[in-house]
């Protein structure tokens, strides 16, 4: 059944929504009232056209430093605002259609809900050791609970047709090109003349929507490159050529970030795709190893040599000392951790670190972050959550009735999701859209593949 109601069905809903939007813009003297009215207008609009809201989520997903400020009390990334408003709008849509059309709401399900709830429980338990438990409670609500609902459950519910999935993938490719263009521009007009030349985010009208670190470009590109390759395979003619050139451009800028995380992740994704391609054509494991081993060796040597350069030494020292602080927290409370969301606070109390590096930073690695803040319980339950979500995709990929086309889609999205996870083993974007949107897309694609294959065989 078509999920779009007749256009005139929404007339009574959209008209007051537009009026609320005008009132919201006019209420500049009362920012909170104006924001509330604009939010109501957006909810009504996204109830009528949920894919519009979802498109904004995808276009904004890596720009977490592009934030909405309301007064002095509220600042939130626009991607989170769009995700929340889209979710509320979708809930309103389901309730409206159930009431007016008698439709039964179709939910996308909640894969990995048990390990997710256990992880939230482990995070809550860790707060017994926090100096300010209320800050930890706020962290439990957002981003911990938020990331699962917005970037796992929402795409599962909304991406119920293949064309919606592919629309999302094309938007992600556009975002990847934009991030790569920023990196390319920084090579032409470096923000710091005379410094080591590498692809970094750029300043746009005084703002840094991607942040300032070179890793923040690489982490976006490594999740988009497999998607670009997938779109190239499913395109023809001029569009296919553009996707091939665009994907090559993304890979080149990833290399030019000189991000060791990016190099490692790109190598792993390339090897996985190479192995899958070779196995599909009956090539023996000996030949596959003969091809993959040199690529891994070259990447390992390149990463090792660059790690010895002066440019990388400061980063190495920073990572070492952040890891030391993380394990000191872990040793203090090995089972439950020192409190979710408290790592930077612990770093700020380390006088030696502050003297050397200035401002406190997050742990440079997901494992260190979890061990320090949530202990073994948090690390184990979070690992279970990731395994459960990736397991959904792997099971669909191995399903006997899944068509070769869907198997290729799942392979590319599995590479994208796994690449995002691998990158965060050495980076700091743990509970935000940059990690979880690729995972949510892979899980949504797995659900679609199983549904379409079941229809095909019934």
**Is residue 126 domain-shared with residue 202, that is, in the same domain?**
no
**Is residue 147 domain-shared with residue 50, that is, in the same domain?**
no
Asked if residue 167 belongs to a domain, the reply is no
Q: CA 385 to CA 441: how far, in whole Å?
A: 16
Which domain covers residue 208, as residue numbers?
Answer: 182-255
Is the bond preceding 123 in cis, omega lying within 30 degrees of 0? no
For the chain, the domain total comes to 3
Beta-carbon neighbour count of residue 249 at 10 Å? 19
- Statement: residue 8 has pLDDT above 50: no
Asked if residue 391 belongs to a domain, the reply is yes
Q: Which helix (H) or strand (E) holds 402?
A: none
- Statement: residue 21 has pLDDT above 60: no
CA nearest to 157, candidates 95, 91, 92, 81: 91
What confidence category does residue 393 fall into, taking pLDDT thresholds of 50, 70 and 90?
very high
Q: Do residues 430 and 241 make contact, with C-beta atoms less than 8 angstroms apart?
A: no
Q: Do residues 64 and 79 make contact, with C-beta atoms less than 8 angstroms apart?
A: yes
The verdict on pTM exceeding 0.85 is yes
Q: What angle do CA 191, 193, 194 make, to 5 degrees?
A: 140
**Is residue 97 domain-shared with residue 216, that is, in the same domain?**
no
Specify the length of the chain in residues: 458
CA nearest to 267, candidates 241, 240, 303, 236: 303
What confidence category does residue 251 fall into, taking pLDDT thresholds of 50, 70 and 90?
very high
pLDDT digits (tens, 9 = 90+) for 256-290: 999 989 999 998 888 888 777 777 667 776 777 77
**Is residue 457 domain-shared with residue 314, that is, in the same domain?**
yes
Asked if residue 272 belongs to a domain, the reply is no
Q: Which helix (H) or strand (E) holds 308?
A: none
Higher pLDDT, 84 or 274: 84
What confidence category does residue 131 fall into, taking pLDDT thresholds of 50, 70 and 90?
confident
Asked if residue 89 belongs to a domain, the reply is yes
**Is residue 408 domain-shared with residue 450, that is, in the same domain?**
yes
- Statement: residue 242 has pLDDT above 80: yes
pLDDT cut 70: percent of the chain above it: 88
**Is residue 449 domain-shared with residue 358, that is, in the same domain?**
yes
What confidence category does residue 376 fall into, taking pLDDT thresholds of 50, 70 and 90?
very high
CA nearest to 201, candidates 253, 279, 274, 266: 253
């Amino acid at each position: 059944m078509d999920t779009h109601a007749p256009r005139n069905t929404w007339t009574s809903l959209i008209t007051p929504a537009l009026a609320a939007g005008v009132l919201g813009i006019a209420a500049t003297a009362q920012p909170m009232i104006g924001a509330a009215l604009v939010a109501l207008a957006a909810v009504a609009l996204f109830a009528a056209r949920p894919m519009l809201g979802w498109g904004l989520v995808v276009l904004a997903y890596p720009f977490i430093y592009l934030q909405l400020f309301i007064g002095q009390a509220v600042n939130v990334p626009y991607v989170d605002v769009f995700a929340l408003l889209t979710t509320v709008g979708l809930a309103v849509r389901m309730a409206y259609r159930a009431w007016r059309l008698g439709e039964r709401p179709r939910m996308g399900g909640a894969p990995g809900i048990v390990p997710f709830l256990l992880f939230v429980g482990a995070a809550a338990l860790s707060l017994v050791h926090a100096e300010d438990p209320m800050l930890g409670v706020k962290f439990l609500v957002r981003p911990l609970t938020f990331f699962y609902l917005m970037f796992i459950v929402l795409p599962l519910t909304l991406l119920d047709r293949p064309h919606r999935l592919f629309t999302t993938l094309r938007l992600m490719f556009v975002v990847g090109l934009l991030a790569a263009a920023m990196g390319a521009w920084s090579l032409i007009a470096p923000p710091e003349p005379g410094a080591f030349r590498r692809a970094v985010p750029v300043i746009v009208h005084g703002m840094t929507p991607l942040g300032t670190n070179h890793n923040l470009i690489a982490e976006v590109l490594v999740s988009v490159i497999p998607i670009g390759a997938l779109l190239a395979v499913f395109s023809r003619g001029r569009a296919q050529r553009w996707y091939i050139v665009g994907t090559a451009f993304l890979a080149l800028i990833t290399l030019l970030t000189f991000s060791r995380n990016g190099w490692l992740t790109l190598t792993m994704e390339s090897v996985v795709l190479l192995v899958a391609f070779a196995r599909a054509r009956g090539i023996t494991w000996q030949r596959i190893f003969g091809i993959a081993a040199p690529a891994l060796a070259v990447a390992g040597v390149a990463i090792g040599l660059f790690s010895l350069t002066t440019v990388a030494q400061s980063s190495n020292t920073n990572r070492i000392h952040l890891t030391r602080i993380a394990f000191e927290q872990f040793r203090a409370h090995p089972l439950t951790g020192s409190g979710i969301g408290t790592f930077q606070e612990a770093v700020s109390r380390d006088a030696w670190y502050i003297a050397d590096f200035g401002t406190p930073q997050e742990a440079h690695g997901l494992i260190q972050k979890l061990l320090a803040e949530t202990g073994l319980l948090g690390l184990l339950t979070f690992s279970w959550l990731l395994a459960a979500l990736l397991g959904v995709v792997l099971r669909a990929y191995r399903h006997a009735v899944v068509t070769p086309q869907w198997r290729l889609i799942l392979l590319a999205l599995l590479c994208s999701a796994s690449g995002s996870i691998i990158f965060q083993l050495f980076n700091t974007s743990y509970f935000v859209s940059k990690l979880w949107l690729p995972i949510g897309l892979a899980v949504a694609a797995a659900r679609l593949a199983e549904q379409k294959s079941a229809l095909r065989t019934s």
